[in-house]
Structure 1
């Protein structure tokens, strides 16, 4: 088993990762009767995509001797109605100033990000837009 999820009422859940004991609380979003005080379940899906892309890139770059520390991903979830669902996710990668990547490395990193396990797990109707901003400053 991976996790347990307990419904606490008032549209809030607490999920516990069984191996580590860490917890994530969720709330329904404000546009769906919730308080929006925590990640919503659909926020977690979009965020999981970004985290998976970053993680798989980290695994690959470890073998390549490339340092991605400071790489920032901005994730935007796009909702649709009838039925209510995630229609799309925009992911923007910003790399710290001073990191220089040759074209081969850029191609490898893009392919790794765009073929992460979460990407392969999402519905093909969900539109995913990915942008790579190479050598741009990461806002604080």
Structure 2
């Protein structure tokens, strides 16, 4: 089974449908690339996927090791470059809720984040700047 089905809607907008669930994601070209910027751009999704994956893998590890990360947030900043136009850096800023994380918990969190499948899939020329705020 395919993962998703994407339709070009015109006006530099697409709709992606997740085949298994039917959930939809709309993308727009960004303002700085002839778009309306009214939705995530494809490169926004690339950068955002890193944070989503990191939080998911941290959550799995937290469950396995008996600590809680509920309420953790992750702010993503995508940095673009030209010639060729591409993502050059993804800045990931984690904010964990007040909790008594042990040094062991923090090590598990940071190792989990850095070894998520999306982190491994991003080309090494893309800088990943990651901050963990406990």
Name the TM-score, length of structure 2 as normaliser. 0.98
Query: Structure 2: which 5+ runs fail to align?
Result: none
When the two chains are superposed, the root-mean-square deviation of aligned CA atoms in Å is 0.5
Q: CA deviation at 1:65?
A: 1.3
Query: Aligned equivalents of 2:49 and 2:33: distance in 1?
Result: 21
Q: CA deviation at 1:104?
A: 1.1
Provide, for residues 7-49 of structure 1, a one-character-per-residue CA deviation record: whole Å limited to 9, x for no partner.
0000000000000000000000000000000000000000000
**Runs of 4+ that moved beyond 6 A:** none
How many residues are matched?
Answer: 133
**Which residue of structure 2 lines up, in the alignment, with residue 120 of structure 1?**
120
Query: Aligned equivalents of 1:110 and 1:130: distance in 2?
Result: 9
Name the TM-score, length of structure 1 as normaliser. 0.94
**Which residue of structure 2 lines up, in the alignment, with residue 89 of structure 1?**
90
Report the 3-state secondary structure (helix = DSSP H, G, I; strand = E; otherwise coil) of the residue aligned with 1:56.
helix
**Which residue of structure 1 lines up, in the alignment, with residue 44 of structure 2?**
43
Matches within 5 A, 1:128-139: 128-134=128-134
